[in-house]
Structure 1
């Protein structure tokens, strides 16, 4: 689930779900790479945001490998990361 957020008018990736029996096989990383490439086709936007729960170290590691960085915000208890391209 992703879209342009109505508040800040930037892309947000809200959810990417991989069934538990298919996790740790690289599908999440591949799906995120494809989604990022899809979003990059929109030349009007140059940033993608997402957020995750602070204790989700697997998500944090994946997002950092993909180039996301903390933007300093916490929204509804979740850490906000962004990637600029």
Structure 2
């Protein structure tokens, strides 16, 4: 979506902007998420998001230091 000029202009006209990769990673750290995945519902690549959520839910310690457990939060 960030590369779609028309969409970016539409968001700007509404006083909004796409979330940057950096903003996403900062939010990941702020909420102590296990993983960060970018996607766009507009182009239909949500399957990857759910695959990653399932992978982490099955083995939550993959990306976490010892003694840390994470939940699943889709924003």
TM over 0.5: no
Structure with a larger share of its residues in helix? 2
In the superposition, the TM-score normalised over structure 2's length comes to 0.31
Q: Which has the higher contact order (CA 8 A, sep 6+)?
A: 1
In the superposition, the TM-score normalised over structure 1's length comes to 0.29
Structure with a larger share of its residues in strand? 1
